[in-house]
Structure 1
């Protein structure tokens, strides 16, 4: 089964555990697949240098990239707001999502803040 591996840059301010918890509590996200925190079980390959944990989601359904990006973006913003104990930031965090596919068929999605000039 293909998996989604979500790596959130520490500059975003959202921990993998918090994103996985928000994912599990969201009906739309839960329908995509169950989220857990792990190293991706990549057989020793390093997807992102220095990264320790990923949100790992065995994909129960196939999602178009745009739908997946909007789902992950919404959950990252919600998780960030919960950590800050306040309503979601306005305007929405300026996030950049970059996707790659491994030879094994896993989708790796890196979430980071958009650089100035991007």
Structure 2
């Protein structure tokens, strides 16, 4: 239960801190048609995963079963993957910190013991 509270606080911090920072720093006047990532609507690319992760966290917090834990971990990893997909929208000066944060968070999610 203590591990769950730490992860929930970490998830809350990650969602409340990193996402607004991305929103403030990823604006670009570039409209390069060759870019795979469209940075004018980058939030659409990860918002569905953020909502799924939030829902899975709530379900797991209310019913901490092994199955719900697995769903929580999977949703967390999909959310991190979605955030990685918008790396091209992060300004170059912030990219290393952004990637480091994602790697740290991925390690925390992978460390959740669902048994």
User: TM-score, normalized by length of structure 1?
Assistant: 0.31
Q: Which is greater in Rg?
A: 2
Q: Per chain length, whose mean CA-contact separation is higher, i.e. which structure has more relative contact order (CA < 8 Å, sep 6+)?
A: 1
| Structure (1 or 2) with the greater strand fraction | 1
| Structure (1 or 2) with the greater helix fraction | 2
User: TM-score, normalized by length of structure 2?
Assistant: 0.32
